[in-house]
Structure 1
Amino acid sequence: MKKINPVPPQITGSFIDVVEVVTLKSKEQARIFFELVSQRLLSVNEWGRYAGISEFKLLDKKGNKIDRQAAKGDYIRIDVPGPGTKSGRGYDWVKVESIVFQHSGDEQLISLQVRPTHFPLGESAVTAHFLRHEATSTFIVRCLGKQVFAEEHGRNELPNTVEGSIVDRGRNFLVGIAAKLGMSYPQWKRLVKGLLAVD
């Protein structure tokens, strides 16, 4: 059976696919575990505990820090190691574009998709992220039979060297190239493994 695929098409730049899976003893156990991992996925403020490199903070549409599960339209502030962007007040920013629940036959999933965006408390429309606005990250938790998957799929990743100050563009070039060379893979690998941790 073909798996549900909510990931956007790859058109330009680089991409990344990170997938982890655990196998449970029964479909019922897998379904229960899927619900737990889905809650972890939406608890963005806890991602740093799993990923171990960057820190993630969830903010609402008005830019206020919030302690709840993610919703469409929320912002995620990312504290990447090293200097941040001037346009993002020292951070990289993404916006939650969609949170989708899907069910088909023996498969169910939740996907959370984000895209680089501007600093939510500023007036500038400059993308405050080391990747261009075309890039997306799609995080997926999937239950298929006795298996539960956690996934991260980056698409259309190009360094953001066309917006912001000269310093920001230089910084974005360096961070973007590092990501292209695989530096972001360990972080996402730790995140998806952490989401699937069996307590």
Structure 2
Amino acid sequence: MENNEELQPVPSQQEGSKIDVVSQREFATNTEASLLFNKAVQRLLSVNNWGDYAGMSAFQLYDADGVEVQRQATEGDYIRIDIPGPGAAAGKGFDWVHIEKIENSVTETESWVAMRVRPSAHPNSSEDDTAHFLKDIATSTFIIRQVDRIVYAEEHGRNEVPNTDGVGVYDKGRNLIVALAAKFGLSYPQWKSLVNGLLSD
């Protein structure tokens, strides 16, 4: 996990849709806040438990070789997402993202840990087709942040464009429908449940 005080973890918005979901909790002391911050970071990296926090989609962590693993996430891993409804044919019934960056920053005023994921091909596929309803220009950045006595959990989606080019007819229609649903707010409740869960007692 990289430590750099000058990092800007959320990519700039260039095209398509964006989403920002934030939850926060305030404590009486910095010590109490730090305890939850550390717990929330562990939860963030425990991808296999995200479904329990979000109460919706199921998430499963895979290593860089496409092997299912039961451990905390690291850079280079993949996440298999089981979205309600028909899955992506390119992803063998699932949507997939690649963990391209896990980084952290500690300054006198705040601390944060961020994990950025990007739509990817199925890790065991010989094809390069993106197995996700969004194109691989999209990113989701998950952040746990502490500022004094306040702890935040955040999800920031950027450059969310439907994945409808260079995919099969089935995936083209399916990806467009799912992406439009996400654009019109249907993904917000899931991410809100997740960030709330990361900060729960």
Paired residue for 2:36? Answer: 33
AA paired with 1:15? K
Cα distance in 2 for residues equivalent to 1:180 and 1:163: 21
Cα distance in 2 for residues equivalent to 1:152 and 1:19: 7
Paired residue for 1:69? Answer: 72
Query: What TM-score, normalized to structure 2?
Result: 0.95
Cα shift at 1:133: 0.4
* 1:123 pairs with 2:106: no
Q: Given the alignment, which residue of 18, 21, 37 partners 2:21?
A: 18
AA paired with 2:127? S
Cα distance in 2 for residues equivalent to 1:85 and 1:119: 10
Q: Given the alignment, which residue of 56, 59, 63 partners 1:60?
A: 63
Paired residue for 1:197? Answer: 200
Cα shift at 1:111: 0.1
Paired residue for 2:95? Answer: 92
Cα distance in 1 for residues equivalent to 2:150 and 2:77: 30
CA RMSD, Structure 1 to Structure 2 (Å): 1.1
Q: Given the alignment, which residue of 131, 139, 144 partners 1:141?
A: 144
Q: Which 4+ residue blocks in structure 1 deviate beyond 4 angstroms?
A: none
Q: How many residues align?
A: 196
AA paired with 1:78? I
Cα distance in 2 for residues equivalent to 1:52 and 1:163: 33
Cα shift at 1:104: 1.6
Cα distance in 1 for residues equivalent to 2:166 and 2:59: 23
Cα distance in 2 for residues equivalent to 1:144 and 1:22: 11
Cα shift at 1:188: 0.1
Cα shift at 1:4: 7.0
Q: Aligned with 1:191: secondary structure?
A: helix
Cα shift at 1:32: 1.6
Cα distance in 2 for residues equivalent to 1:101 and 1:175: 32
Q: Given the alignment, which residue of 183, 188, 192 partners 1:185?
A: 188
* 1:47 pairs with 2:50: yes
Paired residue for 2:10? Answer: 7
Q: Structure 1 residues 159-168 or 112-121, which shifts more?
A: 159-168
Paired residue for 1:165? Answer: 168
1:75-123 deviations in Å (ceiling 9; x for gaps): 0000000000111000000000100011121200000000000010110
Q: Structure 1 residues 9-18 or 157-166, which shifts more?
A: 157-166
1:14-54 deviations in Å (ceiling 9; x for gaps): 00000000001101111121111000000000000011111
* 1:150 pairs with 2:153: yes
Cα shift at 1:163: 2.8
Q: Aligned with 1:171: secondary structure?
A: helix
Structure 1 contact 127–163 (Cα < 8 Å) conserved:
no
Q: Aligned with 1:148: secondary structure?
A: strand
Cα distance in 2 for residues equivalent to 1:62 and 1:4: 28
Q: Aligned with 1:30: secondary structure?
A: helix
Cα distance in 2 for residues equivalent to 1:162 and 1:112: 27
Identity of aligned residues (%): 51
